[in-house]
Amino acid sequence: MGDAADGEVWRQRLLPAILDQTGGIDVLICSAGGMGNSPAAETSDRQWREALDGNLTSAFASVRACLPSLIARRGNVLFVASIASLAAGPQACGYVTAKHALIGLMRSVARDYGPRGYALTLSVPAGSRRRWRMKRCTR
C-alpha cells in the first residue's frame, strides 16, 4: 500500500483503507524498523535516512494520521522500541539515534494527548541471549 513513513501515503491510502475496513482505530502498534551496522563516520546519508524513516518517522506519521480515531475511541498506541532506545550498542549510529528519539516521540504525544484519554505504551524488547550479542553489548 505504501511507505508508512510518508504522511501523504497515510492520508491518501493507508488511513482511508483502514477506516473503510474497520470503522475506526482502537490500537496502533508502531513496530516498523530495521537496523544498520555502521558507526557514525561510516554511515551514509542514505543509511541515516533509512534508519530514521524506518524506526522513527514511520511511527510519527502513523500516530499523526491515526490520532483523531484513537482519541475518539480512547485508543492505545504501542511503541515497540528496543534495548537500543536505552543504551547504545556498537556500530549502529542511526538505529540507536532513532530508537532513543522514539521514546521522545512517545513522551511528547503522551504529554499532548494523554489527558484526553489516549493511552500510550512503550515496549523495550531486550533481544536474545546469544553469546555473540552478549559479548558485543558488554564491551
Element (H, E) at 131: helix 131-138
Strand order of the sheet with strand 119-123?
27-30, 76-80, 119-123
Q: What is the pLDDT of residue 134?
A: 45
Phi, psi of 9 (to 5 degrees): -65, -40
Residue with cell 512503550: 122
Q: What 3-state DSSP class applies to 118?
A: coil
Q: What is the pLDDT of residue 131?
A: 52
Between CA 63 and CA 134 the distance in angstroms is 33
In the residue annotation, 113 being an active-site residue is answered as no
Q: Provide the residue count of the chain.
A: 139
With contact defined as beta carbons under 8 Å apart, do 95 and 81 qualify? no
From the list 95, 99, 118, 120, the catalytic residue is: 95
pLDDT (tens, 9 = 90+) of the chain, 139 residues, equals 789 999 999 999 999 999 999 999 999 999 988 877 899 999 999 999 999 999 999 999 999 999 999 999 999 999 998 888 888 888 999 999 999 999 999 999 999 988 877 777 888 887 655 554 545 544 4
pTM score, two decimals?
A: 0.85
Q: What is the pLDDT of residue 121?
A: 83
Q: Looking at the domain covering 7-138, what would its CATH class be?
A: alpha beta
Q: What is the pLDDT of residue 113?
A: 87
With contact defined as beta carbons under 8 Å apart, do 31 and 41 qualify? no
Give CA separation, 69 vs 25, 75, 94, 105, 135, in Å: 6, 8, 31, 19, 44
Domain assignments of the chain as residue spans, ordered by start:
7-138
Pairing of strands 27-30, 119-123: unpaired
Q: What is the pLDDT of residue 105?
A: 96
Q: What is the pLDDT of residue 100?
A: 94
